[in-house]
Every structure is written in structure tokens, then in C-alpha cells.
Amino acid sequence: MPLEPTEALPEPLPLQPTDGDLIRQCLDGNTEAFRGLYQRYQGIVRATLHQLCDAEALDDLTQEVFLRTWRGLPRFRQSARFSTWIYRITWNVATDCRRQRGRSRSQRQGLPPLATTDHAAPDWLTLHYQDLVQRGLQQLNWQHRSVVVLHDLEQLPQKEVAAILDIPVGTVKSRLHHGRITLRQFLQREGVQL
Amino acid sequence: MTRFSEHDERLVTFLRRHRPVPPPPSELEDQVMGAIATASCAAYSLPRGRWRRRLAIPALAASVLLVWGGWHSLQPSPKEESQALATVETFLADTWFGSVYSADDASLAAALAEDDWLLAVYAVPY
């Protein structure tokens, strides 16, 4: 029986360096390794900042997060999860930003510019709903907003949210409950049927 | 993962579907890497600099203490100083009596109290 030509095995994918690998390289002075961390996490950092602080100075805030991350790397405990740590830094930067701008923002409740994707302009209904969600988040107090953004939008487990905010899981649940009530009431007032 | 009630699930689905999308970054990666490169020396050499500063102050304090302690250990105490002075005075008096008077007169003067040695000079006939 003739041997059938075997299908060529797919090339094994090159192993992606883990966060730990990249961190070790950074600590050895390899700044290019930090680019890997940046590319891996800039999306979630940016989205979280946008949901917590709106669109104002988003680039500056993102840069601040990564600068703090870089400076803090020597003190980062390898046993901890890097994602939790960078979420924590992001939340700290957002909190600082909120403190600095809190008063001026409360005086001018202007709407943030609506974001559009590069590829296709979303239809007006999508823009309207995005605007509603953004305004709904602005209705929440800071504690409720942080929990709703991290859990409901960033889809982090409650345990991780508790670790990031340094609060008990029970408090996360409570804030989530109250935050959702406020959001639901706001959206229903705006005519959204949930 | 957390389980939602049906009520919450509709809300969360709506939020996720219409979550605010951040505007795309404009060459932020290069800016961040540039800032990192600038900060890299300062960030990672800062702890060493801090350690140097932290070590310099105790080292300076220890040096001052050493100099002060050494100076004091070399300085004689007042008690030692008065004892040394008394010894010198006794030696001078003994030498003077021994050179001027006979052995008996000298022993008389030496037997007198320390403060009376001057009186003894006049008590003894020339």
C-alpha cells in the first residue's frame, strides 16, 4: 500500500513572551520590551480611562499610566497579576484626574466628543446609544462608576475588581447593585426599553 | 464569571454593546516609548541616588560623632588635670626645698599640708 503524502504540519506559532518575561527584560534595562507591554495593554487602559474620565486628555492620561507603570516596575511583585496592577494604576490616574478637574467639570456638564471608529462611521442610533451610556456613567458617583466600568464594561470578575479597588467583594456587589439601578433609571428616562 | 439576573443581563448587554469607544491614539506609542527612554535613566538610577543620599547623612553624622568623641577622649578630665598640677607643684616644692635646705627641713615642709607649703617657706630659717 503506497504511503499517502502526509499533510504538511502547520508551523508552530512563535511563543509569545509572557508578561513576566517582558517585565524581567524591562528590569534588565531593555526599554523595547516595554513596547510589548504597551501594545498588549494600551487598549484596555485607554478604554478604561475613556469610560472613567471621558475623552478629555486621553492621550496624556494613557501616557501617564504607562510612565507610572515603567517607574513602578522595580517594585512590582512578580506574584501579582500584571493586569490587575495596571488596572490599579489606571484607576489611580483616573482618580487623580477626576480630583483635579472635578470642580470645573461639575460647572460645565458638556458632552464629550463622540468617538467613531476608523473604518466605518456608525449609524446615528449607535452614536446616540453610546452617548447615552457615556452620560449614564456620568450620572454615577465615582465609587459606583468605577465598579460598573471594571465589572460590566471591562468584564473583570468581582474578585479582581475588589483587588484593584482594594475593597471587599461584598462592597463590589453592593456598589454594582446601586450603580445598575441608577443607570437603568437614567436609561429608562431617556426612553431606552430594557 | 458572575451570573446576572435576567433583569441585569439586559442592562449589561446594552452597556457592552454601546460602550463608549475611545478615539484612536495619535502616535502615542512612540511618544510613550520616547518618554520611557528619557525617564529610564532617572527611573532606575533614582533608587541608587536615593540610597546614596540616605547613606550620606548617617555617614556624615557618624564622622562628626567620631571627631567629637576623639577630641573628647584626648582631652584630660578636670580631675586628672588638677591631680597632674598637684603632682607638678609637689615636685617643684620638693626639688626647691631639697636644693636649698637640709634633709630635715625639707621633710618638715613636705609633711605640711599642700596649701601650707608657702607658709613653710617662711617658717624655715634661711
pLDDT tens, residue by residue, B43-61: 555 455 555 666 777 788 8
Which string of b and e fits A21-56 if b means at least 16 CB within 10 Å? ebbebbeeeeeebbbbbbebbbeebbbbbbbbbbbe
Half-sphere exposure of A143 (CA within 13 A, CB side): 10
B18 with A46: Cβ contact below 8 A: no
- Whether residues B32 and A55 touch (CB distance < 8 A) is answered with no
Cβ contacts (< 8 Å) between B37 and chain A: which residues? Answer: 31
pLDDT class for A101, splitting at 50, 70, 90? confident
The ipTM value here is 0.77
Per-residue pLDDT band at A108 (split at 50, 70, 90): very low
Q: For an interface test with A, which of B4, B7, B11 has the most A Cβ atoms less than 10 Å from its Cβ?
A: B11
Q: Is the pLDDT of residue A116 over 50?
A: no
| Count of Cβ atoms closer than 10 Å to residue A174 Cβ | 15
Nearest to A152 among B15, B21, B31 (CB): B15
Distance CA A87, CA A116 (A): 24
Contacts of B16 in chain A (CB under 8 A): 152-153, 155
* CB nearest A115 (choices: B22, B29, B39): B22
| Chain A touched by B78 (CB under 8 Å) | no
Q: Positive or negative CA dihedral for A36, A40, A46, A48?
A: negative
Nearest to A133 among B1, B15, B35 (CB): B15
Name the minimum distance, in Å, from the CA of A171 to any CA of chain B. Answer: 15
Whether B62 has its CB under 8 Å from any CB of chain A: the answer is: no
Closest CA to A192 of B6, B4, B11: B11
In this prediction, residue A132 has a pLDDT band, given cuts at 50, 70 and 90, of very high
Q: Which residues of chain B register pLDDT less than 70?
A: 1-4, 40-54, 76, 97, 100-126
- Residues, chain B: 126
- Rounded-to-integer distance, Cα A38 and Cα A43, Å: 9
Task: List % helix, strand, coil for chain A (3-state, nearest 5).
Answer: 70, 0, 30
User: Which positions in chain B touch A34 (Cβ < 8 Å)?
Assistant: 33, 36
Q: What is the pLDDT of residue A45?
A: 95
Cβ pair A92, A45 in contact under 8 A: no
Q: Is B49 exposed, middle or buried (0-12, 13-18, 19+ CB in 10 A)?
A: exposed
Whether residue A3 has pLDDT greater than 80: no
Across the range A97-111, mean pLDDT stands at 63
Enumerate the residues of chain A whose CB falls inside 8 A of the CB of residue B32.
38, 62-63, 66-67
Q: How confident is the model at residue A174 (pLDDT cuts 50, 70, 90)?
A: very high
Task: Write down the pLDDT at residue A110.
Answer: 47
A17: CB partners within 8 A, 6+ apart: A25, A33, A36
Residue in chain A closest to B42 (alpha carbons) equals: A71
pLDDT band at A117 (very low <50, low <70, confident <90, very high): very low
Instruction: Give the pLDDT score at A111.
Output: 46
- Tell me which chain A residue has its CA closest to the CA of residue B16: A153
Q: What is the mean pLDDT of residues A171-178?
A: 96
Radius of gyration of chain A (CA): 21
Please give the average per-residue pLDDT across A67-91, as a whole number.
90
Give me the pLDDT at residue A159, please.
95
Angle at the Cα of A81 (from A80 to A86), degrees rounded to 5?
110
Which residues are CB-contacts of A136 (< 8 A; sequence separation ≥ 6)? Answer: A183, A186, A187
Only one residue has cell 525617564, namely B39
Pick the residue with more confidence: A118 or B61?
Answer: B61
Give the integer Cα–Cα distance in Å for A82 and A59.
21
Residues of chain B found within 8 Å of residue A113, distances taken between Cβ atoms: 23
∠ CA B49-B50-B53 to the nearest 5 degrees?
A: 90
B28 touches chain A (CB under 8 A): yes
Question: Which residues in chain A have their CB less than 8 angstroms from residue B15's CB?
Answer: 133, 148, 152-153, 183
**Averaged confidence pLDDT in chain A:** 84
Per-residue pLDDT reduced to its tens digit, A151-170: 999 999 999 999 999 999 99
User: Are B35 and A41 in contact, with CB atoms under 8 Å apart?
Assistant: no
Whole-number Å distance between alpha carbons of B17 and A117: 14
The answer, yes or no, to whether residue A125 has pLDDT greater than 60, is yes
Rounded Cα–Cα distance for residues B67 and B87 (Å): 31
Q: What percent of chain B has pLDDT over 90?
A: 8
The more confident residue out of A115 and B4 is: B4
Chain-chain contact of A50 with B21 (C-beta, under 8 angstroms): yes
Contact B21 A66 (CB under 8 A): no
pTM of the entire predicted model: 0.64
Give the least confident one: A52-61, A142-151, B77-86.
B77-86
Q: Which residues of B touch A118 (CB under 8 A)?
A: 24
| Nearest partner of A116 among B105, B16, B20, judged by Cα | B20
Q: Are B19 and A153 in contact (CB under 8 A)?
A: yes
- Calculated CA dihedral for residues A29, A14, A80, B30, nearest 10 degrees: 50
pLDDT for the residue numbered B52: 60
CB-CB under 8 Å, B14 with A74 = no
